[in-house]
């Protein structure tokens, strides 16, 4: 029984929140002779919930069939100094938490440190060194590139250079690197950090495992958790967006497209989600008298499969200029959209485009509302055989991103690192 510890500040269980990548990995790996524990923060990122650590620096829970260790962190609001303190408290409390768990259950064979912020990777490397075991790091967002792209820190500033040096240190000292976007490996080449260009990072230790979908759970929820909404069951051509309603999601773009489509009464745009832009967008729809677009607000994740099953086309809507899309997309909703078996439109042009690879949708070149409206009309007017071809490709393509398939890939990385480590020790 090989023991794997996963450090992910924002990991959730189905009861605590929506970020389930490592819950699904752990569930599948436990079926394959691994013993997996996930170390997450007790302050849940998306819903302001807290897990009581009973006055200690961590608490272990196993009430959902998967051991989770919730590490005590400070409360925070927004993206200011309180969130930085929250990140630091997770980092520092990982050390006593792992010491306590190791005392009770023994040390792990491998640690996986997963970033959104890099401190989980730093802790993974340092704790693995104490245990004399390998550490795999997982990069779900390139950092600090994401910080630079939002203009929060200048790349050539002193802080920017320190952050970049820290990123390089993490890559250098890890035993393997997993990227969740296929093109992120190019970043190491662009920085000239790879051994082929005289750097210190061997690209042979880099792997790609995207986000995905638990298709079994998805299909169960589609059948058992039906969402009562008359707009989902009429005969209209339904364009559906699910997700956050924030500036970065650029929902105005969808509403702008609705303006171009207002003379097509059989087309209905439905937006499921909530966020800081919700009230403003609802007011805009009222002010402009748009009857063909409706914001439905927050829905529980368990209802999303049923909602998507009633769509005619699903929208991946982003801002073209607030993110580097050349390296691909690892959005969870992309794979839920594929599992629904409906065509997909992305409002940004992506590199390593999954929609193009699996021929299940379209990635827009110019990212304009007019272009989006035209593509919606084009899909609506497709011959039935062509439309069903896109649907079939989406559904079949999703099986490559099912967590059973992704866990096969993760197991390969873990086994490769362990074999390499055992060979070096001999």
Mark whether 128 and 189 lie in a shared domain: yes
φ, ψ of residue 256 to 5 degrees: the values are -60, -40
Other Cβ atoms less than 10 A from the Cβ of 146: the count is 14
Give how many domains the chain has, as a whole number.
Answer: 2
pLDDT on residue 145: 84
Mark whether 52 and 84 lie in a shared domain: yes
Q: Which neighbouring-strand residues pair with 345?
A: 315, 362
- Residue 249 pLDDT grade (very low, low, confident, very high; cuts 50, 70, 90): confident
Which percentage of the chain shows pLDDT scores above 70? 99
Mark whether 185 and 322 lie in a shared domain: no
Mark whether 295 and 203 lie in a shared domain: no
Mark whether 16 and 129 lie in a shared domain: yes
Mark whether 358 and 406 lie in a shared domain: no
* pLDDT tens per residue, range 21-65: 999 999 999 999 999 999 999 999 767 789 999 999 999 999 888
Mark whether 276 and 388 lie in a shared domain: yes
CATH number of the domain that residue 359 is part of = 3.40.50.2000
Which percentage of the chain shows pLDDT scores above 90? 82
Q: Which tokens go with 147?
A: 């910080």
Mark whether 244 and 270 lie in a shared domain: yes
* pLDDT tens per residue, range 366-378: 889 999 999 999 9
Q: Is the pLDDT of residue 319 over 90?
A: no
Q: Is the pLDDT of residue 263 over 90?
A: yes
Mark whether 21 and 158 lie in a shared domain: yes
Region 192-204: what's the mean pLDDT? 96
Q: Is the pLDDT of residue 382 over 90?
A: yes
How far apart are the C-alpha atoms of 41 and 10, rounded to whole Å?
Answer: 6
* pLDDT tens per residue, range 325-341: 889 999 899 999 999 99
How far apart are the C-alpha atoms of 195 and 202, rounded to whole Å?
Answer: 6
Q: Which neighbouring-strand residues pair with 238?
A: 268
Domain containing 28 equals 2-212+402-425
Q: Is the pLDDT of residue 343 over 70?
A: yes
Mark whether 112 and 190 lie in a shared domain: yes
Mark whether 395 and 410 lie in a shared domain: no
Q: Is the pLDDT of residue 398 over 70?
A: yes
Burial (0-12, 13-18, 19+ Cβ within 10 Å), 127: buried
* pLDDT tens per residue, range 291-306: 999 999 999 989 999 9
* pLDDT tens per residue, range 80-115: 899 999 999 999 999 999 999 999 999 999 999 999
pLDDT on residue 322: 63
pTM: 0.93
Lowest mean pLDDT, pick from 313-317, 336-340, 417-421 = 417-421
pLDDT on residue 426: 61
3-state secondary structure the chain: CEEEEEECCCCCCCCCCCCCHHHHHHHHHHHHCEEEEEEEECECCCCCCECCCCCCCEEEECCCCCCEEEECCCCCCCCCHHHHHHHHHHHHHHHHHHHHHHHHHCCCCEEEEEECCCHHHHHHHHHHHHHCCCEEEEECCCCCHHHHHCCCCCCCCHHHHHHHHHHHHHHHHCCEEEECCHHHHHHHHHCCCEHHHCCCECHHHEEECCCCECHHHHHHHHHHCCCCCHHHCCCCEEEEEECCCCHHHCHHHHHHHHHHCCCCCCEEEEEECCCCCHHHHHHHHHHHCCCCEEEEECCCHHHHHHHHHCCCEEEECCCCCCCCHHHCCCCHHHHHHHHCCCCEEECCCCCCCHHHHCCCEEECCCCCHHHHHHHHHHHHCCCHHHHHHHHHHHHHHHHHHEHHHHHHHHHHHHHHHHHHHHHHHC
* pLDDT tens per residue, range 112-166: 999 989 999 999 999 999 999 999 999 998 888 878 877 778 888 999 999 999 9
Q: Is the pLDDT of residue 425 over 70?
A: no
Mark whether 105 and 225 lie in a shared domain: no
pLDDT on residue 247: 84
Q: Is the pLDDT of residue 320 over 80?
A: no
pLDDT on residue 142: 86
Region 363-392: what's the mean pLDDT? 96
């Amino acid at each position: 029984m090989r023991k794997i510890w996963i450090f992910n500040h924002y990991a959730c269980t189905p009861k605590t929140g929506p970020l389930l990548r490592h819950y699904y990995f752990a569930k599948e790996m436990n079926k394959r002779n691994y013993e997996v524990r996930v170390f997450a923060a007790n302050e849940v990122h998306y819903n302001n919930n807290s897990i009581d650590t009973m006055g200690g620096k961590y608490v272990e829970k196993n009430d959902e069939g998967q051991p989770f260790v919730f590490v005590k962190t400070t409360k925070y609001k927004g993206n200011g100094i309180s969130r930085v303190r929250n990140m630091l408290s997770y980092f520092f409390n990982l050390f006593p938490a792992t010491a306590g768990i190791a005392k009770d259950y023994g040390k792990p064979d491998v640690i996986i440190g997963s970033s959104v912020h890099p401190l989980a990777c730093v802790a993974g490397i340092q704790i693995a060194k104490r245990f004399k075991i390998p550490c795999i790091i997982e990069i779900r967002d390139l950092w600090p590139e994401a910080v630079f792209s939002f203009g929060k820190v200048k790349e050539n500033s002193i802080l920017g250079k320190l952050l970049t040096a820290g990123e390089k240190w993490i890559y250098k000292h890890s035993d393997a690197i997993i990227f969740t976007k296929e093109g992120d490996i190019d970043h190491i080449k662009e920085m000239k950090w790879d051994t082929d260009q005289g750097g210190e990072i061997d690209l042979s230790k880099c792997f790609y495992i995207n986000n995905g979908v638990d298709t079994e759970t998805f299909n169960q929820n589609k059948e058992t958790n039906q969402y009562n909404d008359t707009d989902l069951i009429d005969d209209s051509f339904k364009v559906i967006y699910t997700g956050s309603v924030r500036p970065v999601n650029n929902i105005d773009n969808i509403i702008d497209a609705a303006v171009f489509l207002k003379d097509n009464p059989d087309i209905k745009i439905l937006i499921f989600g909530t966020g800081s832009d919700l009230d403003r967008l609802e007011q805009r729809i009222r002010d402009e008298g748009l009857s063909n677009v409706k914001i439905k607000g927050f829905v529980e994740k368990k209802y999303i499969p049923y909602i998507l099953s009633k769509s005619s086309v699903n929208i991946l809507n982003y801002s073209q200029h607030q993110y580097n899309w050349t390296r691909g997309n690892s959005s969870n909703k992309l794979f839920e959209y594929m599992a629904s078996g409906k065509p997909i439109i992305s409002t940004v042009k992506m590199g390593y485009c999954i929609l193009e690879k699996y021929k299940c949708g379209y990635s827009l070149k110019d990212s304009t509302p007019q272009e989006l409206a035209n593509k919606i009309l084009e899909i609506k007017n497709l011959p039935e055989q062509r439309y069903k071809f896109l649907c079939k490709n989406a559904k079949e393509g999703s099986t490559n991103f099912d967590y059973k398939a992704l866990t096969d890939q993760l197991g390969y990385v873990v086994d490769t690192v362990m074999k390499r480590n055992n060979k070096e020790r001999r």
